[in-house]
A and B are shown apart, each in its own frame.
Chain A
Amino acid sequence: MNIIENLKEANLRGRGGAGFPTWQKWQMVKDAVSPDGRKFVVCNVSEGEPAVSKDGYILEREPEVVISGIALAMEAVAAQKGFLYLRKDYYGKHKDKLAKIIGDKPIEIFCEPCGYLGGEETTLLESIEEKRCEPRIKPPFPPQVGLFGCPTVINNLETLYFAAKIANGEYKNTRFYSVSGDTACPGAFECGDNLTVREVLEKTGNLPQAEFFVQAGGGASGTILLDSDLDKPLTGAGSIVVHDLAKTDLRKLGLSWAEFFVKENCGKCVPCREGVFCLKEIFSQEPLDIARAQDIVKLLAAASFCPFGKGVANSFGSLINKLMAK
């Protein structure tokens, strides 16, 4: 059985957040016709979302598996070149070690210049092409028209790590979780796939005693979940930030996100550039103009150019609707 079949059987889905079936992405690139014969594989380690640290955790402990995962994907789709797209601090910390592991394999270690935006796959492609860090219009999607116009697999580090594990027969339906915030033992954990948020907190010894809420899926763009929402599977990038309800100033929490997004958004589209700035202004003063914030959230969710704006809408929308608009 070939690797793509194996991935399909193991039902491995992208661990970067979107959860797209990995085998399908590889199959698309394998089948795609390249205009100049080239195909690429990019391992995305931009891990720009605050409170997500699982890719760094894996890179620290099992870099060999990651590199073999990239090589595996390259072989599976017949790509001539791979890129290891590293967050700036990961690059500084691990590049020498990684270069040794890579040896003479055609895998380039690339230091990402985009910050948070590098997590968006077409922005990542633009940055490797030395263009402005901005998303492309989709379609076409990267498996059809990717890096330098060629079919390209872009997978999160964890995805390629587990692809390698699957190839070696070592996959036990696990995934990595990052837990942080007002909690007993924060960190990265490997547990079973498809756990609910409550199960992750319980299994990692992080279920708080005091009244709390969590932000699931990323420390900036993740969704706010209350106690009653915790029995749903944790999706996305597998991150949970725990907030002690009594200790948390909701306006300041929103402001910290807004400041992050103002700094990190690319500025290409109006909803993000202006909407995020406006959210920062709104959350900078009291009383909060909740109605305007809701209008902006609605616009970001419906009309922003790339998933970045939808992420902003996700966190602000759930914060406002679940905790502030009562």
Chain B
Amino acid sequence: MKIIIDGKEIEAVEGQSVLEAAKNAGIEIPALCYHPDLCVKANCRLCVVEIEGIPVPAAACSAKIKEGMKIVTDSDNLKSLRKTNLELLFGEHRRNCPQCIWQGKCALLKYAAVFKANPMAVPLRKPEPDIVKFGPVILDRSKCIECRNCVDMCARQTGSRRGTDTEMKSDGFLEVEGQGKDIHISPSCDAKKDCIYCGQCIVHCPVGALDSESPVDEIDALLKDRKGKTMVIQFAPSIRTSIGEMFGMEYGMNVTGKLAAALKKLGFDKVFDVNMSADLTTVEEAKELVWRVTEKKPLPMFTSCCPGWMRYLEFYRPDMIPNITTVKSPQNMLGSLIKTYWAEKNNVKPENIIVVSVMPCTAKKYDVTKPEEKINELSPIDYVLTTRELGRLLQKNRINLKEMEQGAADDPFGVYTGAGTIFGATGGVTEAATRTAYWLITGKNLEKVECENVRGIAGLKKAVVEINGIKLKVGIANGMENAKIILDDLDKDPKAYDYIEIMACPGGCIGGGGQPLPVNDDIRKKRAAGLYSDDCSKKIRFAHESPAVKEVYDEYFKGDEHKIHEILHTSYAQKPKSEIIK
């Protein structure tokens, strides 16, 4: 249908809101509580527009378009309303811009400039920090503007909300409490609800009221005074197509080479690539899948790469623990290899190695504290940095990633295949494992490497993969709301699937809670596309053909399955609710 916005006739689709229709036509209507991942809440009231025939302005996010509707988005009246509204918002947002995860690029500051709002016009209503911590997540309520994006997102992750719901729910771990000016966001005291540490609240907060606990300063200090330690850093598959955003590079640009060079410049003794251990994870997981299928062991098998998903199962669904693959996540696998194989080979005491792991994820910070992950009494990883935190560390040391020369990760954990790199996108683990499982069963490689039916950022994908007459029912979900659909399917029919890949965050790790801001489907697609083109460009695209993987098996494990299990596998157990620190 046709509508007229600011005198311009535009083509719009029935059912769209005024805000969406305008956005599609390239007209930006200011909004704070609107996020394309979330349902419409219409509480910030910044997006009000004038619609002909309606006496008072209407919220563009909730008003649906009608044929011929005439809309004004930028009258002087609206500008002055927005100015007042923004000044009120600043009155409840304790600014700490230099430390903010938005790094000065938040909507509040942007619109303040556009509408000439004075951030100091209204005295601060909440002048003191008001901090609550749960797991690695920190919420400072003195910065919160009560938009409830976090609550809505959390209801998708830990509550009953589904992405298709148009109405907000608030039955997840994060809740809205109080009334009027005393309204605030609070972690639930309900013993049956807990945080899964996914960090989606953080990346959906428009004003930086949420963040993760950061070890940046500690790592920076260690790099400057090693205290006799060997400093090793490893970075996750999905980092390479996202961290560039923090340095003004295009969405989805693969910066593996520059990143390796930058990490060396930071002063790390060794730079390793988690893609290498993603390959190793693939081989181990494919082995386990083939074993479970042929030996009639518990199916479906769940992937374990995602610590938010693991946290979900260990807290909410411990009955499903026997279905989780015992293979460690790529992060912990590489940390374990560094503190065993690599330490022995290089004659370094494992306790003298500091392993820093760069992850797109906040739950990984929790993952490395789990007792089951320990290797010879040591945690495989000493510090986890999110993508954002690594960006901070580089900026702090005046290293501009964009200007770096191409470098390379170090041997023996610097080489990877196309299979490892796609771990960062939803469906990637399945595709990598399928390529290797096919080889394990048939002794041959797939002729067509790409498994198109498991690709794409759709929340839920189902496929049947056939290998030598064995039909595997595969379920792939990203976002916990979709994972819960799979769990519901299994509750109804335990044989509904044979293999299940779950990533807690929308789009998989490329949409992780530790990734740069902002995030939406377009950005997630670009980050994923960057990983798939990395896969495509690799000469070797089968994890089992990775020379680094072969070296580890041949030189270190030498067929000793017991040793393989000790170092590359783990276990899971029911976990209690985590402490809420106020």
Contact = CB atoms under 8 A, between A and B. Distances in A.
Do A and B assemble together? yes
Interface of A: 132-133, 137, 262-271, 273-278, 281, 292, 295-296, 298-299, 301-305, 310
Interface of B: 40, 42-46, 48, 56-57, 59, 62, 77, 80-81, 84-85, 88-89, 91-92, 121-123, 125, 145-146, 170, 176, 178-183
B502 to A, nearest CB: 30
Contact of A278 (B48, B77, B91, B176): B91
A256 B182 CA distance: 19
User: Ordered nearest first, which 8 A-B pairs have the shortest CB separation?
Assistant: A267-B183, A274-B88, A303-B45, A267-B180, A295-B84, A299-B84, A303-B48, A265-B180
B56 A302 contact: yes
A128 B42 CA distance: 22
Given A295-B80, A295-B84, A298-B84, A274 B183 contact: no
Given A267-B183, A271-B85, A132 B176 contact: yes
Contacts of B180: 262-267, 273, 276-277
B43 A268 contact: yes
Given A268-B183, A274-B91, A303-B48, 9 more contacts: A137-B42, A269-B43, A270-B44, A274-B122, A278-B91, A296-B84, A302-B48, A303-B45, A310-B56
Contacts of B45: 269-271, 299, 303-305
28 contacts: A133-B179, A137-B42, A262-B180, A262-B181, A263-B180, A264-B180, A267-B178, A267-B181, A267-B182, A267-B183, A268-B43, A269-B42, A269-B44, A270-B43, A270-B85, A270-B88, A271-B45, A273-B146, A274-B91, A274-B92, A275-B88, A277-B181, A295-B84, A298-B80, A299-B84, A303-B81, A305-B43, A305-B59
A176 to B, nearest CB: 28
A298 B81 contact: yes
Given A271-B45, A302-B56, A137 B85 contact: no
Given A137-B42, A268-B43, A269-B45, A299 B85 contact: yes
A227 to B, nearest CB: 28
A23 B251 CA distance: 58
A274 B80 contact: no
A305 B84 contact: no
Contacts of B121: 292
A251 to B, nearest CB: 19
Contacts of B182: 267
Contact of A273 (B46, B81, B84, B183): B183
B52 to A, nearest CB: 16
A281 B122 CA distance: 10
Contacts of B183: 266-268, 273
Contacts of A278: 88, 91, 122
Given A273-B183, A305-B43, A305-B45, A137 B62 contact: yes
B176 A274 contact: no
Contacts of B81: 298-299, 302-303
Nearest to B92: A274
